[in-house]
Structures are given as structure tokens and as C-alpha cells.
Amino acid sequence: MIQKMIDKVVEVVSPERALRREAARRTLRVLNSGYGNHGASRTKKSLIGWNHKGGSPDDDITDNLEVLRQRSRDLYMGGPLATGALKTLRTNVVGYGLRVKPQIDADFLGMSDEEADEWERHVEREFQLWAEDCDAGRMLDFYEMQALVFLSMLMSGDVFCTMPMIERPGNPYALKIAVIEADRVCNPPGVTSPNIRGGIEVDQFGAPIAYYIAQKHPLDSKSMQNKWARVPVFGERTGRRNVLHLMEFERPGQRRGVPILAPVIESLKQLTRYSEAELMAAVVSGMFTVFITSKTPETPLGEAVPLEQQVDVTDENSYELGNGAIIALGEGEDVKEVNPARPNTAFDSFVMSMTRQIGAALEIPYEVLVKHFTASYSASRAALLEAWKMFRMRRSWLISKFCKPIYNEFLYEAVARGRINAPGFFDDPIIRAAYSNAEWYGPSQGQIDPLKEVNAAKIRVQEGFSTRAREATELTGSDFEMIVRQRTKEEKMMREGGLLTNASENQEVLGVPGVENEE
């Protein structure tokens, strides 16, 4: 009632102000509905001052990448936790390298099992020959390149690979891989086209059609002039892919990748500063130094740090402390003790709390991130299982975006050169897909209790939930066929040497020696 009376008075005195009051009231009614009462509220004091302005993927990501990349790399070079996170990802996802295991569709291709096995073994040998000398820079093999590409993508947000054809003496394959750091793909000076941002040119559908690659690294302090090359994504005559762009998407229409540390850059930097400050305080606290006031300061009782080792010799008022030093002070000078109270008893708990938050953002459980397994078996195993969900997802991504395309390019050249026999390979895409099918294996998940893991794998195979080949890969990272061939050779050698008796053979077939057979 009072509100209405006030509105009428305002309307009589100032109709214009009354109109603005009504418009504001209607705006508030629109804003404060649904999410406007909660996360999208413009009136709650707890949300006032929240800088929430956003933009397009190019505005939010591409335009900020230079700062994000350099800060991410700086953390990798000087932040222990950031370094550990990236190396943990690299080691578990790639490790010593992802190995190919051809799995062609023999039924569709009309091949017997024996013919298919022989074809797959031949392709493995050829691929291994190519993998040893596939780097355009002649520094890495294919498996080392996997680790480099993955680590660079994590650190910089994305990475590029070209696939030039370079003939080399003694190498039957010309296909090579050249890894290009993200910074080199950028807009040439003076380019203002809206279709070209972040060095990537797109068509009307947003599909990349060309990359602008700088000849030299833009941040190279020694480079005076730079040139850019426009490289089409696909060859105009052959349709062959020229460039691989490895990045993870988080928004539709995104052109460039985001460093994985981007959401936690501030937390990691502040935590690094805090750790360095605590370390320095502890070091200073550990330097028990005695100061003595003397009337003859020309004859000091001791030196904190030898003159030739001092770093601040130009400042006469600077005292450099050393372990157990005795420093003479001038007449009238005195020292007030400042106790830094180090080591800080709350340091470890605070750092661990922040580490848990950082690990959650990076999808790395705290135990795995800091390699600290002191909880129960169930908790530690749960942490490993949760981490390996993410590791497997990223491994699948690397296989799809890097390993498979390169393997397909290798098959193209091998078949074209006649080193691999694949009838119909160039005639029909479905035939080509049947020949190109393959699985990739990498380092296996570690086991906290190997006996339990092996028994679980045994049950999965017996119940038909898995295969021996998959379990061999998951447990040891080995090839089951190679295991069988090696075991056959070993058993034959033991029989011929008289080391394997009938009793031990029966015991080995029924169960593990010394363990009662479950059957």
C-alpha cells in the first residue's frame, strides 16, 4: 500500500521518473526468475562484482593463447607440481610408446586365419622398419615422437604435424613426420580476414582448409625476419592429408587448443611461491648466526660468507648469513631477533588440500599426482582405477588423432611401393578400411596386489568377459601371441633338457605348484 502511494506521488511530481521506476521494476521481474534467482542473479550481494563476461571461442581462447602457453611452460620448467602432473600424464598414457597390432578383417577380405596372421606379422615388421627412421629431424623414433607430441599438446594446448615425403639412402620409405610447436601456426603480419584466426583458415562451415606456418619460431630471439607458408589441410591433387592438428575440443567452433594447466595456472603459481617462501624461511631459520656488538668493528670475529662467494658485495649494509657464523657489529649497532617459527606445522596440510583441488581439475587423483599411497588397499586401488579411466580416454584420443592417421599413411606408401601385398587397397574405401584395422597397446596399469589382479583376469577369461590377448596386454603390456610362441620354445627346451617331468607338467596344467587347485 505504501509503495503504491509513493508511486502515485512520484507520478504526479515527475512522470518521467515514474516511468523509469516502472521499467526498472519490470526488468527485475524478468531477471529474477528461474536461474535469475540463483546462479544468474544480478541482485544477490554474493554475486555482485562477479566478472562473468565471456565471448566466442576465438575471443576467449585464441586471443589469450600467447599468455596461457608461456605461463604453462614456465610452470612446467619451475613448478614441481605442474611438472609432475604433465609427466604423470605422459608416462601413463604413452610411456615407452604405443605399439600397433594389425587386426585385419580376414573374413571380408577372403583370407584364411593363417594367411591373415602371416600378413599381420609382415606388416608389423615393415612398420617397425619405418618407425626407426620416421622423424624429419632425424632425432626421434616413432614411439619417442608420441611422447613429445602428447607432452607438447598438454603444455601448449595443441601441436601440429606435417607428413613430408623425404627420400633417404638405405630407407625404403619416404614418409616422415615433422612436429611443429603451436606458436609457429599463427597469423602472418597484416592478415585481417575474419576466416583466418590463430593461423587457421576455415571455410563457411568452420572446417579448416589451410594452416599458416611460420618458418621460424616467433619467440626466437635470434630470428630477425620470418616467413609464413600457407599449407592446405588436404592436397589439391591427391586429397592426401598434409597436416595433423592435435588438440582437445571443449567448445563448438573452437580453432585452437587450451593448455591443460590453464584452469589451475593461478593456483599452481601461488602454491609454488608459497613453497619457495617456506623453504627460504626454513633455510634462514636453520642458519644459527651469532651477532656481537664490539667497540672495534675493524676486527671482525668471523665472516658469514667468504668475500669471493658473496653476491651483494656492493652494499656495505648487507650481511650475508652462513651456517654457524659469527658476525661483528659496529659500535651502537644491535640485532633484534625475529623468529620465523619454521618449519610451519600447517604447511603440509595446506599444500595437500590445494593439491587435491588441482588434481580434481586435472582428473588426476591426489594419491597418483603426488605418488603418495598411504591409505587402505581399497582407497589406493580406487584412486588408480579412477586415474586410469582418464589415462585410457587420453590414450584413445592419441591413437585416433595421431597413431591411426600416420599408420594409414604408412600403409598407403607400403602398398604403393609393393612392399605389402593388399589387393583392392586403392579400389574401394571399405577394402582399405579392412586392411587398415589395427589395435594399439601401451603400458599397462600397475597393480597394488598382483595376485588379486591375476586371479581377477583369470576369472574374466574363464567367464568369457575378456580374452587372453587383452588380459596379457592389460597386466603386462605384452603380446599374447609372442608369449605363446616363447613359452612353446621354452617348454620344448625344458623337455629336451630333462627339466620338465610328467608330474610337473600335470601340476602346471592343474594349477600353480604349492597352491590347491580351485577345481
Contact 37, 234 (CB under 8 A): no
For residue 177, the cross-strand partners are 135
Contact 212, 232 (CB under 8 A): no
Q: What values do phi and psi take at 429, rounded to 5?
A: -60, -35
Residue with cell 615407452: 96
Please give the Cα distance from 302 to 412 (Å, whole number).
77
Amino acid 307: pLDDT: 66
Strand-strand pairing, 200-202 and 208-214:
antiparallel
Amino acid 283: pLDDT: 78
Amino acid 429: pLDDT: 92
For residue 161, the cross-strand partners are 179, 244
Please give the Cα distance from 400 to 440 (Å, whole number).
10
Amino acid 184: pLDDT: 94
Burial 65-77 (b: 16+ CB within 10 A, else e): beebbebbbebbe
Q: What values do phi and psi take at 510, rounded to 5?
A: -75, -35
DSSP state letter for 241 = B
For every residue of 70-111, DSSP letters joined together read: HHHHHHHHH-HHHHHHHHHHHHHHTTT-PEEEE---HHHHT-
Please give the Cα distance from 469 to 444 (Å, whole number).
13
- Spell out the residues 6+ positions from residue 214 whose beta carbon is closer than 8 angstroms to its own: 183, 184, 185, 186, 188, 226, 227, 228
Half-sphere exposure (CA, 13 Å, Cβ side) for 21?
Answer: 13
Burial 269-286 (b: 16+ CB within 10 A, else e): bebbeeeeebeebeeeee
Q: What values do phi and psi take at 292, rounded to 5?
A: -125, 130
Task: Name the pTM for this structure.
Answer: 0.80
Contact 387, 393 (CB under 8 A): no
pLDDT along the chain (519 residues), means of 10: 65 72 64 70 77 85 92 93 94 91 91 91 94 94 95 95 93 95 92 88 92 91 85 89 94 93 93 88 71 56 60 67 64 64 80 91 90 82 89 94 96 95 93 93 79 86 86 77 84 82 52 42
Amino acid 336: pLDDT: 61
